[in-house]
């Protein structure tokens, strides 16, 4: 008997790159195919007498293209597939659809395969394809050739005959799928032009109601290489891009439908207008659930959710405005994974698309701008630092979630507004590392506090971000511990002194111990490892987790390859994560 022992863990990569999304430019160049009846508006919607069909979890099927592994190793390919599996599980847990029976079949573009159509309405074959385009080589989606087995067939008809002169049969289709995502790894011109692009995606097929059925995601291989690959980053970017392909795209706003009365037997109807400009000329989404949730978030009445205005001064974009929705999964410039959320405004948008039922069993994790009022985030008001979200100057402070130290800075998406952006390196309070300054403590329970504590008597020091331990007592109630001190109560909004130190610590209000900043650790094992724990749609950092040792017993004479070992690791990790209630 042979015994193989191996430890399974996921590592935290503390240095996260800044990622930019280029979905809008990619989608503009993607040909989208709809069913032949899509130009008849009434047929695209659920008919009044259509049977009520319960919605079931959305099944996204990643399709890995043969030969695409040339740019990455088998190990990198397995890592990518593990990340995609995690993303599809997240999407399936939040979105449900009315499933169509049978395998998923995609449509062919009539303008591609058909050279001419019989247009004489007196002919028996009126509106049917009359001749095949000899240059037709099949269907593509963002430079990916769709397999014939995934496509519906087509027919070519003579002018008067009752039988087609050419028939291509339907393919087998893809079983157990509601959305087909072709996964490609390629060093494209877009990858070469912008190194901050990890991946990009577009949709290319719609069903009769306008819901996307298929799309492509392209990964730039540089970010999948050994030493560069960051699992949490690939998961975050993949989820972001998949959400675009599933419906959050400016080119699909005109397709969103209102099915609020469908369950009572009424028809679904097109929304009159999804996006419009506000009094400042900025585009916002004005659909019922989005307006309700955005208003509740700001502590105001119903208000539209703002879309990014960079590069889109006269039209809507496919991203939320960074000034108002920092930390959302759908801003154009993504925050690091541990500071990014699948937020309530994005979920509200998916509900208002009309195609999906959306699970709302998640905590309100979007802290940026919460309760800050109707005029929060405007370029004319962001110099007001009293809310604690915006800043002035270029000092070192704390990111608004207080997991990281931050530097007060701006970028091209912020329209001159300045925020505390996480330091490029070394500012992660939640990762154990050497203390930068006296009194600081780094670790999984440490957070960033504005402070000017010092051991030097009568020495005035500047207030800036420092890493200290904290522990929660109740919602918005906590204590703080400085190196060499005892635990000290830290009333929200107060400035406290710490015995043995000069200066003060500012205790943040409604930023810590609010339910979403809690970093879960397991008591199954006390072995400390570095891991990323994902809870309720958000990737949380922690430095303690579970080290799992798996013993595999192989019968005598059986062959056991490295590939089989890696596959087993993936399966075991999946079972552990599922039973622990965590995302891998």
Per-residue pLDDT reduced to its tens digit, 366-401 = 999 999 999 999 999 999 888 889 999 999 999 999
Question: Which segment of 50-59, 166-175, 369-378, 531-540 scores lowest on mean pLDDT?
Answer: 531-540
Give the pLDDT of residue 579: 53
Give the pLDDT of residue 541: 37
Give the pLDDT of residue 398: 97
Residue-wise pLDDT tens digits, 74-128: 899 999 999 999 999 999 999 999 987 899 999 999 999 999 999 999 999 999 9
Residue 512 pLDDT > 60: yes
Q: How far, in Å, CA of 192 to CA of 399, rounded?
A: 31
**51 confidence band (pLDDT: 50, 70, 90):** low
Q: Tell me the three state secondary structure of residue 61.
A: strand
Q: Where are the domains of the chain?
A: 110-168
The H or E element containing residue 472 is: strand 464-474
Q: How far, in Å, CA of 358 to CA of 247, rounded?
A: 13
| CA distance readout (Å), 94 to 252, 342, 360, 527 | 20, 10, 7, 33
Q: How far, in Å, CA of 496 to CA of 505, rounded?
A: 5
Contacts of 29 (CB under 8 A, 6+ apart): 142
Contact 252, 239 (CB under 8 A): no
Catalytic residue among 241, 308, 440, 543: 241
Q: Which pair of tokens denotes residue 87?
A: 């993303």
Q: What is the pTM of this model?
A: 0.83
**570 confidence band (pLDDT: 50, 70, 90):** low
Give the chain's length.
Answer: 584
For the question of residue 241 being annotated catalytic, the response is yes
Q: How far, in Å, CA of 469 to CA of 441, rounded?
A: 6
Residue 522 pLDDT > 70: no
Give the pLDDT of residue 539: 32
Q: How far, in Å, CA of 275 to CA of 353, rounded?
A: 12
């Amino acid at each position: 008997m042979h015994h193989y022992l191996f430890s399974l863990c996921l590592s935290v990569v503390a240095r996260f790159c800044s990622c930019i999304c280029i979905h809008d430019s990619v989608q503009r160049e993607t040909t989208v195919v709809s069913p032949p009846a899509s130009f008849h508006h009434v047929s695209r919607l659920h008919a009044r007498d259509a049977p009520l069909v319960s919605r079931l979890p959305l099944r996204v099927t990643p399709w890995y293209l043969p030969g695409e592994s040339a740019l990455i190793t088998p190990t990198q390919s397995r890592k990518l597939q593990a990340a995609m599996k995690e993303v599809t599980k997240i999407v399936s847990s939040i979105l449900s659809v009315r499933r169509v029976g049978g395998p998923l079949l995609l449509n062919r573009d009539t303008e591609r395969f058909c050279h001419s159509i019989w247009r004489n309405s007196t002919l028996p074959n009126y509106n049917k394809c009359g001749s095949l385009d000899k240059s037709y080589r099949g269907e593509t989606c963002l430079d990916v050739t769709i397999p014939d087995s995934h496509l519906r067939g087509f027919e070519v008809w003579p002018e008067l005959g009752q039988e087609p002169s050419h028939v291509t049969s339907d393919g087998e289709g893809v079983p157990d799928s509601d959305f087909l995502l072709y996964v490609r790894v390629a060093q494209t011109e877009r990858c070469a032009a912008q190194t901050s692009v990890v991946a990009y995606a577009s949709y290319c097929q719609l069903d009769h109601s306008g819901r996307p059925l298929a799309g492509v995601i392209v990964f730039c291989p540089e970010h999948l290489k050994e030493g560069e690959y960051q699992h949490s980053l690939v998961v975050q970017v993949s989820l972001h891009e998949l959400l675009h392909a599933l419906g959050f795209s400016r080119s699909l706003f005109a397709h969103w439908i209102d099915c609020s009365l469908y369950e009572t037997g009424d028809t679904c109807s097109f929304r009159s207008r999804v996006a419009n400009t506000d009094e400042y000329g900025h585009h916002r989404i004005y659909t019922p659930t989005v307006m309700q949730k955005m208003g509740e978030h700001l502590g105001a009445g119903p208000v539209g959710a703002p879309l990014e205005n960079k590069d889109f001064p006269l039209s809507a974009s496919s991203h939320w405005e960074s000034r108002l929705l920092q930390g959302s999964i759908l801003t154009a410039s993504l925050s690091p994974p541990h500071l990014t959320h699948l937020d309530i405004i994005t979920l509200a948008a998916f509900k208002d698309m009309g195609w999906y039922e959306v699970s709302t069993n998640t905590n309100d994790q979007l802290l940026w701008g919460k309760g800050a009022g109707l005029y929060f985030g405007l370029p004319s008001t962001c110099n007001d630092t009293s809310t604690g979200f915006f800043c002035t100057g270029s000092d070192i402070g704390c990111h608004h979630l207080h997991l990281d130290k931050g530097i007060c800075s701006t970028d091209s998406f912020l329209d001159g507004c300045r925020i505390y952006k996480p330091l490029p390196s070394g500012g992660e309070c939640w990762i154990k590392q050497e203390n930068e300054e006296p009194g600081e403590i780094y670790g999984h329970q440490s957070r960033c506090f504005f402070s000017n504590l010092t051991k030097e008597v009568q020495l005035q020091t500047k207030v800036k971000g420092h890493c200290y331990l904290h522990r929660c007592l109740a919602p918005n109630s906590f204590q703080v511990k400085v190196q060499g001190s005892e635990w000290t109560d830290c009333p929200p909004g107060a400035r406290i002194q710490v015995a043995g130190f000069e200066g003060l610590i500012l205790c943040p209000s409604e930023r810590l111990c609010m339910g979403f900043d809690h970093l879960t650790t397991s008591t199954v094992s006390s072995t400390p490892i570095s891991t990323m724990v994902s809870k309720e749609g958000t990737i949380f950092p922690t430095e303690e987790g579970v080290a799992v040792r798996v013993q595999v017993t192989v019968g005598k004479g059986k062959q056991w390859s490295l590939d089989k070992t890696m596959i087993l690791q993936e399966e075991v990790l999946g079972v552990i994560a599922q039973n622990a209630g965590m995302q891998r």
